[in-house]
Structures are given as structure tokens and as C-alpha cells.
Homo-oligomer: A and B are copies of this chain.
């Protein structure tokens, strides 16, 4: 895990601005001229820093997907109860989304436009879901987690975590630790009194 101390390059700025626009209108609806205007330059100038529109999307999505893969690897190999691992997964999503909510929008909604990197992305995602399911199944076998339909449970939790990008930007006052705690409470203990 290398610490990010590098100064932000112009390319980084472009990618960050693009992510913001992609969140608002989706990848396909954002033109290079839109992006250029948001950067205060002309469209052709963007190509001094990036190779193509595609490449911007790739940069946004793949780095995030790999961050999740990395995080899951750590959690998987950690020791602790299944419930503890679940709470770590919640934290992972809250942390990554807090740092880059705009990028998470692309990860969730624009991945189908990835072209060459699509297959790789789908592999990472499917592996991630498998590891997640393993943790849930382990918890059921350990009698930590109630024995309902695993797929429904996985779907429900993952849906909530994947939607965080819509929610976190609107609640900037709530700090990540508190949010992760509240979420874990709701997801694990339910709401029934």
C-alpha cells in the first residue's frame, strides 16, 4: 500500500472532473467538449494529457475495482468472526466511497462501456462477490448468521453498499466511522425491535 503523496497532475484533474460529469449524466452523455469546458480549455487540448475518452473511463473504474479486490483480500485473510469480517467490508465500502464518490458512480453505472477492459472488470467483480458469499456462508455454518437465503442476503447488503455513492455526498457532516457503524447496525441487526 503506497501512500499517495504525489502532486496531482493535469491528467488527474481531467479524470476527476470527468468522473464528476459522468456521475451527473452518465459516460455516454458527456462529450469531450463538455469535459473541456469544465476544465476551462478546448476539447483538443485534452489530448495532450489523455489518449481517449475510453481511457478516462478505464482509469476511473479499474483503479477502484482493484482497490476493492485488494481490500477484500486483506479482510479474507484476516482472523476474526464472520460478523467482524462483514463489518470490515462495510468499512471498506464506506471508506472508498467517501474518498471517491464520483468514481463510484461510474463503477456502478458505466462499466458496460469498458470495451477491452470489460472482461477483466467482470472477473474482478465476480470474484469479489464470491468472496463476499463465502464469508456469509461461513457465518451461517458457524451459527453466527441466521440461515436464510444466502443470495438474497448478499444481494441486499451489496445493494446498499453499492448505492453509497448516491448518499454520502449529500451527508458530508456524517463522518465515515459513524456511518459505517450505523450501517453495520442496520444491515446486521435489522430494524425490528
Contact = CB atoms under 8 A, between A and B. Distances in A.
Interface of A: 24-29, 83, 109-110, 112-113, 136, 139, 143-149, 151-153, 155-157, 159-160, 162-163, 166-167, 171, 179, 182-183, 185-193
- How many copies of this chain does one complex carry? 2
Contacts of A151: 171
A155 B146 contact: no
A163 B167 contact: no
Contact of A146 (B149, B157, B160, B193): B193
Contacts of A163: 155, 159, 162-163
15 contacts: A25-B112, A26-B26, A26-B27, A26-B109, A28-B29, A136-B191, A139-B191, A148-B182, A148-B186, A155-B167, A156-B160, A162-B163, A188-B190, A188-B191, A190-B191
